[in-house]
Structure 1
Amino acid sequence: MQYDLTDLRLFVAIAEARNLTRGAERSHLAPSSASHRIRLLEEVIGTPLLIRQARGVGLTRAGEALLRHARQVFAQLEQMHADLAPFATGVRGHVSLWANTHATHSFLPDDLAEFLRAHPQVSVTLEERTSPEIVLAVARGEVEVGVVAERVEGADVELLPYRADRLVLIAPPAHPLARLGVTAFADVLDHPFVMLHAGSAIHTFTMNTAAALGRHLDVRIQVRSFEAVCRMVAAGVGLGLVPRSAVSGGLAAPTVIELAEPWAQRDLQVCIRARDNLSGFAQALVERLLASAPPSATVPAQGQEAAQAPIKGQRG
C-alpha cells in the first residue's frame, strides 16, 4: 500500500473534526488537496473510509478501524521519539526492563533509582507485564531483562534469585476472617475484594486463579496501587490479595492472613537469556538488582541451583 504519515495525519484530523474542511485546516492543506489525498487513500486501501454528508463526514466501519490503528501508530511514534530523545542529551545507553506488578510496586523503585544514580548516562524503560509474558519476551530476545515470579514451560531462560516474598490475604480488622491465621483461597471467594486495576499482572493472576477453581471474584473496587488496596481494605471495603512487603504496620493497617496454597510464595527472580549475551548496561543493571537483594531474599540452596540454570519444562 502506498500512503504516508501525512495521509494518516490528515485522515485522523478529518475523522476527529467530522469535517473535511476543518481537518484540512488542521493539517495545513487546502480542502481540494485534502479531498484528493483521501480519495487516493481510499483507492489504495480498497474501500470507502468516509461517509460524505450534508454537514461534514462520518466514518465507515473501515474508517473506524483505520482511525484506531492510526492513533496507535502515532502513539508508537511518540514513544519512539521519547526513547530516542535521551541520546540527544548525552545518554549513551538504554535498557528495557519488564517486571510483574509485585516487583514494579515494591522493590524496583528503590533499586532502579540507585542504579540510575550510579549510571547517569543510562536510561531505563520499565513496563509492567505478567510473568509468562515477560519470560517469553526474554526468551525471544524482545527484552533483555525481566523480573518475574513464575516459570514458563519450555522457555530457554536463566532465572536468578532477586527477592523473596509471599502473597497474603488482607482483611479489615473487624472482618469475620480476621481471626484466622491461615486460610485457603477457595474459602474466601464469597467475600467482596479490593483489586488492583484490570490489566495489572496481579489482577490477571488473581482472576485466573479464581477461574481455575470455577469461581468468579466479586470485585467491589479497583485501585492503582498496593497502598490503595491496603487502605481500602483497612477501611472495610473488602478483602485484598497483596505481597506481604506491601503491608505496612500501624493502627489503621489491615489484618494479614496467610494463604495455604503453594503459589502464595512469590519469590521474585531476574530473568535473562544468558549473561554473556547481555549488553554492558543490561549486565550492570542485573548486577545491581542481584546485589541489592538482602541475603534472606535468595531462594533456598536446593531451589537456587535450579533457578540459575536454564528452564526447560518447568513451571512454578
Structure 2
Amino acid sequence: MRFDFTDLNLFRHIVEAGSITHGAERSNLALAAASTRIRKMELSFGTELLVRGRAGVTPTQAGRTLLQHARGILAQSEKLQEDLSPYARGLAGQVRVLSNTNALTEFLPETLSSFLTSYPDISVDLEERLSDEIVGLIAEGTGDIGIVAGTVDIGGLDTFPYRSDRFVLVVPRGHPLAGRDRIGFAEVLDYDMVGLDRASAIQRFLAEKATRAGRALRLRVQLRSFDAICRLVECNVGVGIVPETTVKRAARTMAIAAVRLTDPWALRELHICVRDISALPPYARQLVDHLRANV
C-alpha cells in the first residue's frame, strides 16, 4: 500500500470540490497526473474511492473512510510544519485564518496588511472556505481564527462581531432590472450570470441555493474576483452577485447599478470565531484583537 501526503491532499481537495478537475487545480497538479494518482490509490487499496458521474464525483463508503483519516493525517502534518516553520524562517509565530469569500475579498486585505506591518515576526496563512466548513475546522483545531457569516450555527466556539455587508445583484446601468429597488434570488436565476470560479466558496454557496430552488445557475463566465465580475457585467455579459461594498467602489468608474436581494442570507453579519480565545497562542490573540479593533 503506497501513498503520500500529495495523494491524501489531492483526494481531500477532489472530494471537497466535487470534481477531479477542480481538486487537481487546488492541488496544483495537472488533470492527467491527478487522475493517475487516484487510480493508483484505488488499485493500492483494492477498492473504488470515488463514484464518477456527469455532475462530478462523490466518495464511496471507502472514500469517506479515507477522507476522514486523510484529514487527520494532513492536519497533524500541517500542525507539525506550522510549529517548526517559525524556527526555520526566524518568525515568532504563524496564524492560520479561515475566511468566507466576502470577508476575504472586502475586509481582510487592508486589516492583515496593517497587522503584518505592526508585527513583522508573525506570518498569516489565509484560506478561503464556506462558513459552515470554517466552523467545523475551527472546532477541530485545524484553523486558529475563522471569519464566518452570522447565519451559520457557531456551536460552542468563542465569537466576536466583525463586519456587516450585503450581497446585491449587480447589473449594467441600461439593464431592465437596473430600475428595480429589490429582487429575489429565484428571479435572478432567469438571467445569464457572471460569477466566481465554481470551486470558490461563495459560488458553491450560490449553486446550492439555486439547487434548493430547483434551478441551476446560468453561468457564462467564471472569474477570480468580484471586481472582475463587475467589469464583465458592465460589458453586458450577464448579471452578478457581489458584496454591496464592491459595487459602491466599482460604480465610481463603471456603468453598473446594484439591486438589493430580498433573501435573508443576502445580509452578511460577519463574526470572528475561535475554538477558545484563552487557549490561543499570544500572537494569534494579537491578530484577534487587531481584527476587533479595525471594524
Q: TM-score, normalised by structure 2?
A: 0.72
Partner of 2:186: 186
Q: Which has the larger radius of gyration?
A: 1
Q: Kindly tell me: are residues 91 and 147 of structure 1, through their superposed partners in 2, closer, same or farther at Cα, counting changes over 3 Å?
A: same
Q: Does 1:98 align with 2:98?
A: yes
Deviation at 1:65, TM superposition (A): 4.8
Q: Does 1:281 align with 2:278?
A: no
Write the mapping of 1:27-66 to structure 2, written as runs, cut at 5 A: 62-63=39-40, 65=42
Question: CA contact under 8 A between 2:251 and 2:257: conserved in structure 1?
Answer: no
Question: CA contact under 8 A between 1:135 and 1:151: conserved in structure 2?
Answer: no
* Alignment: residue pair count: 236
Q: Secondary structure at the match of 2:177?
A: helix
Question: CA contact under 8 A between 1:136 and 1:155: conserved in structure 2?
Answer: no
Measure the CA separation in 1 of the matches of 2:146 and 2:96: 9
Q: Kindly tell me: are residues 200 and 277 of structure 1, through their superposed partners in 2, closer, same or farther at Cα, counting changes over 3 Å?
A: same
Measure the CA separation in 2 of the matches of 1:175 and 1:82: 51
Question: Amino acid of the residue matched to residue 130 of structure 2?
Answer: T
1:122-177, CA deviations, whole angstroms, 9 ceiling, x for partnerless residues?
11100100000001111222211000114444721122111110000001111111
Measure the CA separation in 2 of the matches of 1:81 and 1:142: 12
Q: Choose which of 288, 291, 294 in structure 2 pairs with 1:292.
A: 294
Question: Amino acid of the residue matched to residue 273 of structure 1?
Answer: R
Question: CA contact under 8 A between 1:100 and 1:201: conserved in structure 2?
Answer: yes
Measure the CA separation in 1 of the matches of 2:284 and 2:38: 44
Q: Secondary structure at the match of 1:241?
A: strand
Q: Secondary structure at the match of 1:216?
A: coil
Partner of 1:306: none
Q: Kindly tell me: are residues 4 and 128 of structure 1, through their superposed partners in 2, closer, same or farther at Cα, counting changes over 3 Å?
A: closer
Structure 1: tracts of 5 or more residues without a match: 9-58, 294-316
Measure the CA separation in 1 of the matches of 2:259 and 2:113: 32
Q: Does 1:122 align with 2:99?
A: no
Q: Secondary structure at the match of 1:177?
A: coil
Question: Amino acid of the residue matched to residue 193 of structure 2?
Answer: F
Q: Secondary structure at the match of 2:268?
A: coil
Question: CA contact under 8 A between 1:183 and 1:257: conserved in structure 2?
Answer: yes
Deviation at 1:227, TM superposition (A): 0.7
Measure the CA separation in 2 of the matches of 1:230 and 1:124: 29
Q: Kindly tell me: are residues 64 and 280 of structure 1, through their superposed partners in 2, closer, same or farther at Cα, counting changes over 3 Å?
A: closer
Q: Does 1:113 align with 2:90?
A: no
Query: More deviation in 240-249 or 143-152?
Result: 143-152
Q: Secondary structure at the match of 1:221?
A: strand
Question: Amino acid of the residue matched to residue 135 of structure 1?
Answer: V
Question: Amino acid of the residue matched to residue 254 of structure 1?
Answer: I
Partner of 1:155: 155
Question: CA contact under 8 A between 1:134 and 1:146: conserved in structure 2?
Answer: yes
Q: TM-score, normalised by structure 1?
A: 0.67
Q: Secondary structure at the match of 1:176?
A: coil
* Percentage of pairs with the same residue: 39
Q: Kindly tell me: are residues 79 and 254 of structure 1, through their superposed partners in 2, closer, same or farther at Cα, counting changes over 3 Å?
A: farther
RMSD: 3.0
